[in-house]
Amino acid sequence: MLTFLPDSSVVSTVTPSPNYGERKGVLSPDMIVLHYTGMSDAASAIVRLCTAGTEVSAHYVVLEDGNIVQCVREADRAWHAGASSWAGETDVNSRSIGIEIVNRGHDLGYPEFPLRQIAAVIALCKGIVIRRNIAQHRIVGHSDVAPSRKKDPGEKFPWRLLADSGVGLWVEPEPIVGGEQTMLGASGEDVLALQQGLASFGYGVPLNGQYDATTMDVVVAFQRRFRPERIDGIADASTLTTLHRLLALMPQDAALAS
């Protein structure tokens, strides 16, 4: 791929990736998906994202020092989300802009995200939101759209700080207390109500009233992002109340569409 002009003024370098295609069925992206690279260093991650045959890419890579590399034009479809879904849509790559944040990830020690790196992520996302008119509830993590496969950007990612800066949704998690808990193997109307709430927010979850492995994976993904103090896949009062508070922030038409 020939080089191109960056879409964002905060981009430091353009390193074109050959791994991209045309967006399918949409004129413009309406989601942002945040990832971590999960590799030992930034150079290795960029090589992988920009090497033909790896079948992976992202629009942007945010380095630990706050520098930003663009690899795919926003108008094109990068290959970052894989098998995924959000709000009933299964071609997340066509609908989204993918941002890789350099971090070794869970398998390699999972360090904290430097503040200068998060500041760069915020600046990049705010520009995309303005240019593409992206709704706040459609700024998500890789684990949100692929909860059975992915953990990134993970429980250390400061979603609260992003939201305080005008990027994405956040509510203060309900404190963890005792009380009723719904967990793997349960069934009934309470489970169905939980599934309906998660689906209304956007998660791909079956609406079968069975607290199966897929439902547990989605609860884990939800907790990893919104209630990281305890990530156990158990739908306790803290998890449910936090979910309901988030649903109250959703645009009414978005909740109905889900």
Sketch the domain layout of the chain as residue ranges. Answer: 13-164, 189-257
Average pLDDT of the segment spanning 20-28: 93
CB–CB of 7/28 below 8 Å? no
Average pLDDT of the segment spanning 240-256: 86
Average pLDDT of the segment spanning 199-212: 98
pLDDT tens-place string over residues 86-117: 999 999 999 999 999 999 999 999 999 999 99
Fold of 189-257: Muramoyl-pentapeptide Carboxypeptidase; domain 1 (1.10.101)
Average pLDDT of the segment spanning 173-188: 92
Match 């994202």 to its residue by tokens.
Answer: 49
Strands 68-70 and 60-62: antiparallel
pLDDT higher than 50, residue 224: yes
User: Residue 255's pLDDT band (boundaries 50, 70, 90)?
Assistant: low
pLDDT computed for residue 2 by the predictor: 76
pLDDT computed for residue 27 by the predictor: 86
* Residue among 34, 32, 59 at smallest CA distance from 46: 59
pLDDT higher than 70, residue 209: yes
User: Residue 256's pLDDT band (boundaries 50, 70, 90)?
Assistant: very low
* Residue among 24, 18, 21 at smallest CA distance from 51: 18
pLDDT tens-place string over residues 5-17: 999 999 999 999 9
Average pLDDT of the segment spanning 40-57: 97
Give the sign of the dihedral formed by CA 123, CA 203, CA 226, CA 101.
negative
Average pLDDT of the segment spanning 21-32: 94
What torsion do the CA atoms of 230, 231, 235, 236 make, to the nearest 10 degrees? -10
User: Residue 254's pLDDT band (boundaries 50, 70, 90)?
Assistant: low
pLDDT computed for residue 252 by the predictor: 75
- Collapse the DSSP code of 243 into the 3-class scheme (helix H, G, I; strand E, B; otherwise coil) and give the result: helix
Q: Do domains 13-164 and 189-257 have the same CATH topology?
A: no
pLDDT tens-place string over residues 121-177: 999 999 999 999 999 999 999 999 999 999 999 999 999 999 999 999 999 999 999
Q: Catalytic positions, please?
A: 100
CATH of domain 13-164: 3.40.80.10
pLDDT computed for residue 1 by the predictor: 59
pLDDT tens-place string over residues 66-89: 999 999 999 999 999 999 999 999
Q: What is the mean pLDDT of the chain?
A: 96
